[in-house]
Copies of this chain bind each other. A is one copy, B any other.
């Protein structure tokens, strides 16, 4: 398959840089909201025809260079028995927060084909529907980030329960991460068998840890997960707030490092060396400004991204109030730029 996205992942030259947006299938699109109005978020994830439909919307509407499966990083935790729900307007909630060694013991080791097979079916539908137009990205959360939600019981500003536990009993937390990683490996393999052509791991909360503690606690389970991915499938790792961790992130078994908007790509490049492909990193808030501002910011971003492989993306998920025309202006500016 000829794909600028996959070629760039592999470090091969392309005529121009590929572009996609984190959370490109989402609430900023009226076409997404029209689907979502008729179903709950979890039902949408669990209905392959609808999940495939919203996955494809940004490919058709924006012309992005890759599709990413519509799903949620927390689905595997639900399959493990943590009891996931989304209250209207709120973030995720877990009925059974995991806060002790006994809670870890009580988690189930799910048959991913039985409990998460709907995601694999979404991948198959999207892959068939796209018919080679653009590649399909599968994804999962990092073990640390999944544990963050599972221990806290939902989203949090500072994740005090998780962090307290990680100081008090780091072995138990590592055990939880190991278990999440084992399930995640099977989950990712299911996505790859169904047709996912690249894998992105989202580590939203890894940046809460100092470099020493990230190495000690979060890294081992993550590494095993990354190493399990077959060689022909490019691995992308995204972390928010990773400026203090670049020295360790450069050693991960990945092809692409996706960074947030805080550090210009040329400075990231200096720290991680020439080989890693970089992905990112326009501030998602820039897409709330006018198309003229967006085009100027894209020009700056493209200049900073020279000197190595670069997949253009945002530094974090697109914000719900973003006008779709602004997202389109972003994609167009990248695709029409000189290489």
Which of A105-113, A117-125, A177-185, A282-290 interfaces with chain B?
A282-290
CA distance A278 to B283 in the complex (A): 30
Specify which chain B residues have a CB less than 8 angstroms from the CB of A284 in the assembled complex: 158
A220 contacts chain B at the CB level, 8 A cutoff: no
A299 contacts chain B at the CB level, 8 A cutoff: no
* Main SS class of interface, A: helix
CA distance A321 to B319 in the complex (A): 32
Interface size on A, residues (CB 8 A): 34
Known: A241-B241, A319-B160, A321-B160. A267 touches B297 (CB 8 A): no
A164 & B288 in contact (Cβ 8 Å cutoff) = yes
Contacts of A270-323 to chain B: CB distance below 8 A: 283-286, 288-290, 293, 297, 316, 319, 321
11 contacts between A and B (CB under 8 A): A158-B285, A159-B285, A168-B288, A168-B290, A209-B262, A210-B261, A212-B264, A241-B241, A243-B244, A244-B262, A244-B267
Specify which chain B residues have a CB less than 8 angstroms from the CB of A211 in the assembled complex: 262-264, 267
Nearest CB of chain B from residue A315's CB, rounded to whole Å? 9
A233 contacts chain B at the CB level, 8 A cutoff: no
